[in-house]
Amino acid sequence: MSKFIEYLRTKTFRKNLIIATGSIFAFLLLLFYSLGFYTHHGEGMPVPKLKGLPVAKAIELLEEQGLRYQINDSVYLLDQPPGVIVEQDPDPNTNVKSNRTIYLIVTRDAPDTKFPDIEGRTFLEVRSILNNYQLKVGDTTYKSDVAKDVILEALLGGRVIRKGQQIPKGSRIDLVLGDGLGASEVDLPNLVGLNLSEARMSLLGSSLNLGNVSFEGPADSVNAKVIKQFPALSDTLNKVSIGTAIDIVLSGGK
């Protein structure tokens, strides 16, 4: 033991210790730089931002930068069309090396849902129901009916849809509602060609009143026929309120 301690005090030991320490340091230094050269330490490129891009555009961008891709999963989002990037790994601007795989999550087509029973319900009720079924309210139109703001029909792409029918989530549903005027409006009769008595009876049967009566030519109230009426029946006017006064012009007779 004493000889070992004496050896530790010799110049030979100190020389060997310095050589060994230097060798280890040089080896570690060489190893560090070798690994850096082999792995291209500090070299790379930032990952582009892909979120919100269509899949085809994202793939084109990755391939231009020498990066690979893999679609890991797909999800359905109500307000996003299918085939759009919603998540990526690594995150945008992360520094990666060439040929690195970028993992993507994209949106998929909407799953189907059964159309709910909304006929006869109010607009406010139906809006809430459609929202719960992940459906959207589209255009609203009104139709003459005694019920006000009550759903009469539901349309998808111009076609009537019924309870239980399978439709894609996110679909826009057009609604036809009652205007509440059905009980106070009647069909406007066509009086042209009738005599005065016939015109009066037709108006009475429709709960309408006879307004001003005028003649073109001799005033023959028995044989003259209606040649004009105001308001006139047309494609844009076929209903009037109960009690409306209809003016007529008669012509003909002896």
pLDDT in tens, 187-224: 899 999 999 999 999 998 888 999 999 998 877 777 89
Residue 7 confidence (pLDDT) above 70: no
Contact (CB, 8 A) for 216 and 250: yes
Q: Span 142-151, mean pLDDT?
A: 81
Domain that holds residue 158: 112-179
Tell me, yes or no, whether 170 and 207 share the same domain: no
Q: Render the burial of 23-57: b for 16+ CB within 10 Å, e for the rest.
A: eeeeeeeeeeeeeeeeeeeeeeeebbebeebbbee
Tell me, yes or no, whether 80 and 138 share the same domain: no
**Total number of domains constituting the chain:** 4
Q: Span 117-145, mean pLDDT?
A: 90
Tell me, yes or no, whether 151 and 99 share the same domain: no
The domain boundary residue, chosen from 149, 179, 209? 179
CA angle 3, 9, 14 (to 5 degrees): 125
The domain boundary residue, chosen from 57, 89, 107? 107
Model-level pTM? 0.46
Tell me, yes or no, whether 56 and 28 share the same domain: no
Contact (CB, 8 A) for 105 and 51: no
Tell me, yes or no, whether 7 and 30 share the same domain: yes
Tell me, yes or no, whether 8 and 59 share the same domain: no
The domain boundary residue, chosen from 129, 148, 179? 179
For position 156, which CATH number holds?
Answer: 3.30.10.20
Peptide bond before 46: cis, by omega within 30 degrees of 0?
A: no
**Residue 127: predicted pLDDT:** 93
What whole-number distance in Å separates Cα of residue 100 and Cα of residue 143? 61
Tell me, yes or no, whether 27 and 84 share the same domain: no
Tell me, yes or no, whether 28 and 86 share the same domain: no
Tell me, yes or no, whether 144 and 95 share the same domain: no
